[in-house]
Amino acid sequence: MTVRRIAVIGAGINGLSVARQLLIDHPDVQLTVFEKESEVAQHQSSHNSGVVHAGLYYEPGGLKARLCTRGIQLVREYCAAQNLPYDACGKLVVALESEELPRLDAIYRKSIANGVPDVRLIDAGEMHEIEPNCIGIKALHSPHTAIVSYGAIARRIAEEIQEWGATIRLSSPVARLRESADGVYVEGEAGPLNDTPFDRVIACSGLQSDRLATASGDEDDPRIVPFFGQYYVIDPAFREHVKGLIYPVPDPRYPFLGVHFTKRIDGEMTIGPNAFISLGRENYSGDGINLRDVADFIGYPGFWKFAARNMAVTLRELKTVVSKATFVREAAKYVPSLATVSVKPAVRGIRAQAMRQDGQLVDDFVIRRSGRITHIRNAPSPGATSSMAIAEYIVREVLDFN
């Protein structure tokens, strides 16, 4: 069967990248992107740190490691071709105490295995040359870790694919995908959104990915459990106290990295994010409660198993949620000159983190095809970094065009 009509669900950076790759590899297909919002890139694509992750932490051989490495190259090349800002400001992962050194060494070994260029372990003296206000006993330096605006990249891709003939249907929420003998029908709550069936559909629905997948006949597991991360912008008078990115050494007992310093592509310096359960999958303001979303994770056995295992980190993160001063102090452990800096709330992101029924967070990307339908079930960080590589992988290795 000749594949002529393809639909992509979701106009975030992953969905748009998939659409772009489809048109690069198969320029004759009729392509439609369905997006529930009135504009593209309204969710995770524009609520993130903007970091182009170098591949320091990911298990060698996994999809994250492979697609992050390729994704960096593609994002860098795209920004250069489209005249979009790309700042290779560099990153330090800093050990404050000797007990962190074995973990730092482990990250270095993963970095080498993943082909991270020019990554080095450095002593306190060299660290001070790179970040004069940073303290620590040892650090891993990734000089090519960069920052971008993923929102700007996504918006340019949307313009580009429309120039190539694709249709983006905004304000078109999708409730389910129904596969029949003649193809796939994209349906909203009121019924089909297309009269002629699609030959292939790729669902890139982020925070709603599990709901769309299960409504379309896919497995119930894994489940999206949303965690919010708040960022703060520091007083502009102090932004030069940090030159690039400064991260803690992650503790494998805890599921998230911890508060760190991140330079933004507009020149602002941010502190964040913390990580705490969100009372709504799309609750970017932090106001109100989405009862359906809360009921979803409260009624999910995996959430309670996760919570029981992570009580210590839950209490740590809760302190940063209720106290701005505590939030700043956590970061100032690495840059003491900023211990009392004033901050203002910046972007608040929500991580579309997949969790299994046993309470384990899904560590790798989950991309699953069944028949004519492909679902991205898990693509948290480095999902934006990897977006163009995820698109290549789906179009060239997952989809069946026969």
| Domains of the chain (ranges, CATH numbers) | 5-46+151-221+363-398 (3.50.50.60), 91-143 (no CATH), 223-242+252-361 (no CATH)
At residue 90, the pLDDT reads 98
Confidence of residue 278 (pLDDT cuts 50, 70, 90): very high
d(CA 326, CA 271): 12
More confident site: 102 or 318: 102
Strand, helix or coil for residue 147: strand
Bridge-based pairing of strands 373-378 and 200-203 is parallel
**What is the full DSSP assignment across 234-259?**
EPGGGGGG--SEEEEPPPTTSSS---
| Rounded alpha-carbon distances, angstroms, from residue 24 to 18, 48, 65, 79, 322 | 10, 27, 24, 17, 48
Phi-psi region of 96 (alpha: psi -120 to 50; beta: other; left: phi over 0): alpha
Q: Residue 35 burial (CB < 10 Å; 0-12/13-18/19+)?
A: buried
Bridge-based pairing of strands 343-355 and 223-234 is antiparallel
> CB of 55 within 8 A of CB of 109?
no
More confident site: 159 or 221: 159
d(CA 68, CA 247): 18
At residue 254, the pLDDT reads 65
Confidence of residue 91 (pLDDT cuts 50, 70, 90): very high
Query: Average pLDDT over the chain, rounded to whole?
Result: 94
- Region 228-243: mean pLDDT is 94
At residue 361, the pLDDT reads 92
pLDDT at 275 over 90: no
More confident site: 30 or 256: 30
pLDDT at 253 over 90: no
Cross-strand bridge partners of residue 8: 33, 202
Strand, helix or coil for residue 368: strand
d(CA 17, CA 109): 31
For residue 81, count other CB atoms closer than 10 A to its CB. Answer: 9
Which residues lie below 8 Å from residue 16, measured CB to CB, with a gap of 6+? 8, 33, 40, 41, 154, 157, 158, 161
At residue 341, the pLDDT reads 95
Bridge-based pairing of strands 245-248 and 91-95 is parallel
What would the two tokens of residue 27 be?
């320029």
d(CA 305, CA 303): 5
d(CA 183, CA 154): 29
- Greatest pairwise CA separation for the chain in angstroms: 67
Which residues lie below 8 Å from residue 41, measured CB to CB, with a gap of 6+? 11, 12, 13, 16, 150, 151, 154, 155, 158
At residue 23, the pLDDT reads 98
> CB of 294 within 8 A of CB of 278?
no
At residue 295, the pLDDT reads 97
At residue 374, the pLDDT reads 98
At residue 315, the pLDDT reads 77
AA identity, residue 277: I
Note the pLDDT tens digit of each residue in 283-330.
Answer: 999 888 999 999 999 999 999 999 898 887 777 777 877 788 888 998
pLDDT at 1 over 60: no
Give the HSE-up count for residue 157: Cα atoms under 13 Å, Cβ half-sphere. Answer: 31
Give the HSE-up count for residue 109: Cα atoms under 13 Å, Cβ half-sphere. Answer: 7
Note the pLDDT tens digit of each residue in 13-34.
Answer: 999 999 999 999 999 999 999 9
Considering only 117-121, 149-153, 253-257, 278-282, which range has the smallest mean pLDDT?
Answer: 253-257
At residue 302, the pLDDT reads 94
> Which of 335, 349, 325 minimizes the C-alpha distance to 276?
349
**What is the full DSSP assignment across 297-362?**
HHT-HHHHHHHHHTHHHHHHHHHHHH-HHHHHHHHHTT-GGGTT--EEEEEEEEEEEEE-TTSPBP
Confidence of residue 158 (pLDDT cuts 50, 70, 90): very high
Note the pLDDT tens digit of each residue in 181-229.
Answer: 999 999 999 999 998 999 999 999 999 999 999 999 999 999 999 999 9
- Region 151-170: mean pLDDT is 98
pLDDT at 160 over 90: yes
- Region 152-180: mean pLDDT is 98
Note the pLDDT tens digit of each residue in 49-89.
Answer: 999 999 999 999 999 999 999 999 999 999 999 999 999 99
> Is the dihedral angle over the CA atoms 355, 232, 58, 82 positive or is it negative?
positive
